[in-house]
Chain A
Amino acid sequence: MKLSSILRLPALLGAMLLGTAAVVEAEHTSNWAVLVCTSRFWFNYRHLANVLSIYRTVKRLGIPDSQIILMLPDDMACNPRNAFPGTVYSNADRAVDLYGDNIEVDYRGYEVTVENFIRLLTDRVGDEMPRSKRLLTDDRSNILVYMTGHGGNEFLKFQDAEEIGAFDLADAFEQMWEKKRYHEILFMIDTCQANTMYSKLYSPNIIATGSSELDQSSYSHHADNDIGVAVIDRYTYYNLEFLENEVRDTSSKKTVGDLFDSYTYEKIHSNAGVRYDLFPGGAEAARSRLVTDFFGNVQNVEVDGSKNTTLEEDMLALSKTIAALRKKADEEEAISVGKEDTTTTETTKEMKNETLLTHKSQFAKPLTDDNWLGKKLSALGAVVGCAVLWQMGSWLESAQK
């Protein structure tokens, strides 16, 4: 029993090593979500329910409230017309109260404006803005941007007063990219003619999806006859259905491609769209991203030091160029000396060479990757040796018994 557990240890170690290698591939270290509802008024209950159901999902998959920016322009839970005060449901079965007692709305009421939304994305905010209302992302952050409301051809209406254009949104994302504010973005939008909204994006590393094409309406899924309003839109409903059934926890291996493949016209009643061309590697790379890369919080850790391959490479390259430059300089010097004084004796030449050599030794030792394999092999040998020693020790121990 004991032996077998001990035997398992190296295998476990190996698996861990391999595991970390796989994680490093995803290359993001934090997950953020920006969830925006843009409509107010009681009859738009479903838009708030859409956003709150996505909010609930991302929280379920581990994104903490501190990394979710939730924008709700109206308060359906406390609307006097709500037959179930203090609650918001996205399904007529009323199984899950989305409002609950654990919800953090970051922007509410008339704070939900185009200006605030763009300021949030680009982080152009004043000193007085609390951290909870800021998108504190960096170039290792994956962001889920989900928007819902009433849209049209290349615009999305904010409340009843203003609208954001597809160009505004594209420019905001570009600013984010320039400021290294994201690693990858999944942009989802559920409005009428939603696909037009992402058509103007031009920044890299964005996967975009929307509920309906140009001149198509996006429909509600069903109404709750006691609340008296439609409670969720079709596109969001079927996204949720997928997320609830297929992505039960953060270990889910479902990819974004699987999610997109689940959209059908029969379910959504409009042609949901997807845009991969901004993503390096195109459709294939984009589709292979895990759903949890955007909807979940995957705790990747970036360790400074030996793992910092880019720095290592940079140093190596720098050393090489320094070495090359010095060699070149030496040669030039040698030639110039030769030209200058051809009559000087061999000894002086040697002396000069010697001084040069001694001079050379003052520099730091250049880095080389000549013995990379040797290093790796010796390290492996050490590990194997340790393992063998361990095995021998335990074998001896058991033999004594």
Chain B
Amino acid sequence: MPRLLASALSLRRDPRLMKLPPYLSLLCIVVGVVWLFLLPLDDYSRRTYISENALLPGQVHTYFGGSDQNVFRAYKHETDELAGKGNIEVNDKLESIAKGLGLKVGRQNFTYSSAGNTHSGQNIYAILQAPRGDATEAIVLVAAWKNVKGELNRSGVPLVLTLARYFKRWSLWSKDIIFLFTPDSIAGPQAWVDAYHDAHDSSRVASLPLKSGALQGAIALDYTRETRFQSVHIVYDGVNGQLPNLDLINSVNHVAGGQMGMGVAIQEMWKHSNSYHDRLQTMLRGMLKQGLGLASGPHSSFIPYHVDAVTLQPFGDGWQDEMAIGRVIEGTFRSLNNLLEHLHQSFFFYLLMQKERFVSIGTYLPSAMLVAANFTIMAIALWVKSGQPDVQEVITEKTKTAEEAEKIALPNPHVAVERDLFLPLVLVAVCQFLGVVPLYLFNHLSESALIPAFVLFTVLSAILPFLLSNLLHTSTTSTTTQQYHLIRSFSLLLLGMFLSSLATLNFSLAFLVGVFSTPLTFVRPCPNSPILKWLSLVVLYVLSPTTVVFVASVLPGLDEKVGYGLGEVLRQAAFAWDVTGTYTPVVVWCVWWPAWIVGVVSVLGRPGGGDKKMKKA
């Protein structure tokens, strides 16, 4: 044991030890990324299963159909006439229908402003009180008048009305059922859910005149097509990458896929062969959506309030009719009705790679954590290095006067050098603080000013490192190697810390930012090699936050042939920030961007001078 300790101690003083961290960091990154690509394999992913005993999905006969088809046609006729009419007019009609069914009806006005635009509208909702229940819990059925793409929910709204009429006939509900009709798919549900939980800003969003019990689950129906369909697409991404309980998705999948025999798709994978390639693609799409953290449907706003919700979208040409999707909703509601407490059994953190395959957080988290850890490892290594005398200087001295140098150099490596902390701390703090500027700009400018502001900001952010670098090397001040080590150390330490804590909240965002930031671990001042310096700069500028945002907005989306365009992306980001409270911009501008600036500054660095201190030590 003492021998082991001694050898460990001697290893500690081994100069080779300080060469290790960059390789260790590289290993972390490689393992982290490879890990992610292993997940779709059978050995790493698991089959989904229903964990909550109470749900019992697909165990009931569904009776929606028959004469309800005629009811549906009648309601469809009514709502078709409302197409193109104003929000209030639509709600008047919906109110008269819902009141005719004997439901209590409430309305709610909301006005959001974002990027200079006003998003206002009126929600209407009807409450079916459980005939034998105790009104302490409720489940929600949402039909937005327009879906996220702005298409009219032509079949969805009349189908929800038909279901309201049909559900009213049953006496077996243990929870109230709320039928919610919103004018759009994101602001409306957000306003309603905020107000339902009394978490709304009453200057923008009106309080609800009528409430029921605690929300236990929500299903949104996005059913724009008027022809028969083949399969149902389950949209489950919530705001900020939060996900509904996996049991809910499994239940819908069980009812739709198992009981009704229709296809089920996720993540816009209209065809899925369950091959490695398709699984990986599904998982990456899911990660991308999760990383962006945008609302993907009317259900998204519910999830931050711990109300598990999904949106159902029928798609494809097949023989399933409106009654079939109605039965899926009926079956799912019967399952939710069986719940005794909030969905809590299954997973909230998972990556789905097929409708029936997933990886849970325990399996995928190491991936993002390893990527985040590489920054921390490097930060610690740089801190240690900053405490050691510059080896190169010592060696050059050694060659000059060998005997003299030996006397000085030998005891040196084991004694910490005094660190000059002020300049590095100030620089890193200033860079971090500067991140507030783009965050404020992009979330408060009006829509027309967004693109010019982005261009201006891109140029400024490209020039800023040069300015800062020159500031560090004026005639009066000169930044030492040690200070560059410390600058990088602090910056990487912050990045590693932010990303590893973010990984537990939004794995995908942490992983994506981590991967884009990997060059920051390895770039260093290279005053003697202009080729290396310019190569580093090119890599850093290609992977800069502004470039990535620009390229992402121009590249074709998952389904679309062309990208959204920069203006649309910036407008959506501002809307997400203002309405749904998406925090992705904070991560981009206040975590990633400052680290990038510091990275470029250190590449441009020309360390020199200040060697006196080290010699003293």
A225 touching B173 by the CB < 8 A rule?
Answer: no
Knowing A41-B54, A79-B174, A80-B174 are in contact, say whether A225-B59 is a contact too (CB < 8 A): yes
Nearest neighbor of B335 in chain A, beta-carbon distance: A228
Nearest neighbor of B170 in chain A, beta-carbon distance: A83
CA distance A80 to B133 in the complex (A): 6
CA distance A279 to B134 in the complex (A): 51
Knowing A42-B338, A42-B340, A228-B334 are in contact, say whether A85-B59 is a contact too (CB < 8 A): no
- The interface residues of chain B lying within 8 Å CB-to-CB of A41 are 54, 340
A135 CB to closest chain B CB (Å) equals 32
B53 at the interface (CB under 8 A from A): yes
Q: Which of A123-144 contact B (CB under 8 A)?
A: none
CA distance A230 to B171 in the complex (A): 20
Query: Contacting A225 at CB < 8 Å: which of B61, B171, B174?
Result: B61
A314 at the interface (CB under 8 A from B): no
Most buried by B among A41, A80, A85: A80
B56 touching A80 by the CB < 8 A rule?
Answer: no
Nearest neighbor of B63 in chain A, beta-carbon distance: A226
B56 touching A81 by the CB < 8 A rule?
Answer: no
Query: Contacting A85 at CB < 8 Å: which of B132, B133, B338?
Result: B132
Nearest neighbor of B61 in chain A, beta-carbon distance: A225
Nearest neighbor of A40 in chain B, beta-carbon distance: B340
B337 at the interface (CB under 8 A from A): yes
If over half of A's interface residues share one DSSP class (helix, strand or loop), that class is named, otherwise mixed; here it is loop
A92 CB to closest chain B CB (Å) equals 11
What is A's interface to B at a CB cutoff of 8 Å? 41-43, 79-83, 85, 223, 225-226, 228-230
Query: Contacting A228 at CB < 8 Å: which of B131, B134, B173, B338?
Result: B338
B61 touching A80 by the CB < 8 A rule?
Answer: no
A217 CB to closest chain B CB (Å) equals 13
- The interface residues of chain A lying within 8 Å CB-to-CB of B249 are none
Most buried by A among B53, B61, B171, B172: B172
Most buried by B among A82, A225, A228, A230: A228
A80 touching B172 by the CB < 8 A rule?
Answer: yes
B54 touching A43 by the CB < 8 A rule?
Answer: yes
- The interface residues of chain A lying within 8 Å CB-to-CB of B134 are 80
- The interface residues of chain B lying within 8 Å CB-to-CB of A229 are 56, 59
- The interface residues of chain B lying within 8 Å CB-to-CB of A43 are 53-54, 56, 338
- The interface residues of chain B lying within 8 Å CB-to-CB of A85 are 132, 171
CA distance A225 to B340 in the complex (A): 19
B382 at the interface (CB under 8 A from A): no
B130 at the interface (CB under 8 A from A): yes
A85 CB to closest chain B CB (Å) equals 7
Nearest neighbor of A44 in chain B, beta-carbon distance: B53
CA distance A349 to B373 in the complex (A): 120
B171 touching A228 by the CB < 8 A rule?
Answer: no
CA distance A214 to B597 in the complex (A): 64
Knowing A41-B54, A225-B59, A226-B61 are in contact, say whether A80-B338 is a contact too (CB < 8 A): no
B60 at the interface (CB under 8 A from A): yes
CA distance A154 to B195 in the complex (A): 51
- The interface residues of chain A lying within 8 Å CB-to-CB of B131 are 80
Q: Which of B338-359 contact A (CB under 8 A)?
A: 338, 340
Q: How many residue pairs bridge A and B at CB < 8 Å?
A: 43
CA distance A230 to B131 in the complex (A): 24
- The interface residues of chain B lying within 8 Å CB-to-CB of A228 are 56, 59-60, 334, 338
What is B's interface to A at a CB cutoff of 8 Å? 53-54, 56, 59-61, 130-134, 170-174, 334, 337-338, 340
Query: Contacting A223 at CB < 8 Å: which of B54, B59, B170?
Result: B59
- The interface residues of chain A lying within 8 Å CB-to-CB of B133 are 80
Most buried by A among B130, B134, B338: B338
B515 CB to closest chain A CB (Å) equals 44
Query: Contacting A226 at CB < 8 Å: which of B54, B60, B173?
Result: B60
B52 CB to closest chain A CB (Å) equals 9
6 shortest interchain CB distances as A-B pairs: A80-B132, A228-B60, A80-B174, A225-B61, A80-B133, A83-B172
Most buried by B among A43, A83, A230: A43
Nearest neighbor of A229 in chain B, beta-carbon distance: B56
Nearest neighbor of B52 in chain A, beta-carbon distance: A43
Nearest neighbor of A42 in chain B, beta-carbon distance: B338
B217 CB to closest chain A CB (Å) equals 15
A–B pairs, 24, beta carbons within 8 Å:
A41-B340, A42-B54, A42-B174, A42-B338, A42-B340, A43-B53, A43-B54, A43-B56, A80-B130, A80-B133, A80-B134, A80-B174, A81-B174, A83-B171, A225-B59, A225-B61, A226-B61, A228-B56, A228-B59, A228-B60, A228-B334, A229-B56, A229-B59, A230-B59
B165 CB to closest chain A CB (Å) equals 18
CA distance A228 to B171 in the complex (A): 14
CA distance A273 to B172 in the complex (A): 39
Knowing A42-B54, A43-B53, A43-B54 are in contact, say whether A81-B60 is a contact too (CB < 8 A): no
Known: A225-B59, A230-B59. 4 other contacts (CB 8 A): A79-B174, A80-B134, A228-B60, A229-B59
CA distance A223 to B60 in the complex (A): 9
B241 CB to closest chain A CB (Å) equals 32
- The interface residues of chain B lying within 8 Å CB-to-CB of A81 are 172, 174, 337-338
B173 touching A80 by the CB < 8 A rule?
Answer: yes
A67 CB to closest chain B CB (Å) equals 34
A80 CB to closest chain B CB (Å) equals 4
Most buried by B among A42, A82, A223, A226: A42
- The interface residues of chain B lying within 8 Å CB-to-CB of A79 are 174
CA distance A42 to B173 in the complex (A): 13
CA distance A223 to B53 in the complex (A): 14
CA distance A80 to B130 in the complex (A): 8
B121 CB to closest chain A CB (Å) equals 35
Nearest neighbor of B334 in chain A, beta-carbon distance: A228
Nearest neighbor of A82 in chain B, beta-carbon distance: B172
B211 CB to closest chain A CB (Å) equals 20
CA distance A79 to B131 in the complex (A): 11
Nearest neighbor of A78 in chain B, beta-carbon distance: B132
- The interface residues of chain A lying within 8 Å CB-to-CB of B172 are 80-83
- The interface residues of chain B lying within 8 Å CB-to-CB of A226 are 60-61
CA distance A196 to B53 in the complex (A): 24
A386 CB to closest chain B CB (Å) equals 72
- The interface residues of chain B lying within 8 Å CB-to-CB of A225 are 59-61
Most buried by A among B130, B132, B334: B132
- The interface residues of chain A lying within 8 Å CB-to-CB of B173 are 80
- The interface residues of chain B lying within 8 Å CB-to-CB of A42 are 54, 174, 338, 340
B54 CB to closest chain A CB (Å) equals 5
Nearest neighbor of A223 in chain B, beta-carbon distance: B59
- The interface residues of chain B lying within 8 Å CB-to-CB of A83 are 170-172
CA distance A85 to B170 in the complex (A): 12
- The interface residues of chain A lying within 8 Å CB-to-CB of B171 are 83, 85
CA distance A268 to B174 in the complex (A): 33
CA distance A82 to B133 in the complex (A): 11
A105 CB to closest chain B CB (Å) equals 20
CA distance A318 to B202 in the complex (A): 98
B64 CB to closest chain A CB (Å) equals 14
- The interface residues of chain A lying within 8 Å CB-to-CB of B338 are 42-43, 81, 228
B263 CB to closest chain A CB (Å) equals 23
CA distance A346 to B53 in the complex (A): 102
B192 CB to closest chain A CB (Å) equals 26
- The interface residues of chain A lying within 8 Å CB-to-CB of B130 are 80
CA distance A229 to B131 in the complex (A): 20
CA distance A79 to B171 in the complex (A): 11
B392 CB to closest chain A CB (Å) equals 68
CA distance A228 to B61 in the complex (A): 8
CA distance A82 to B60 in the complex (A): 12
Nearest neighbor of B55 in chain A, beta-carbon distance: A43
A230 CB to closest chain B CB (Å) equals 8
- The interface residues of chain A lying within 8 Å CB-to-CB of B60 are 225-226, 228
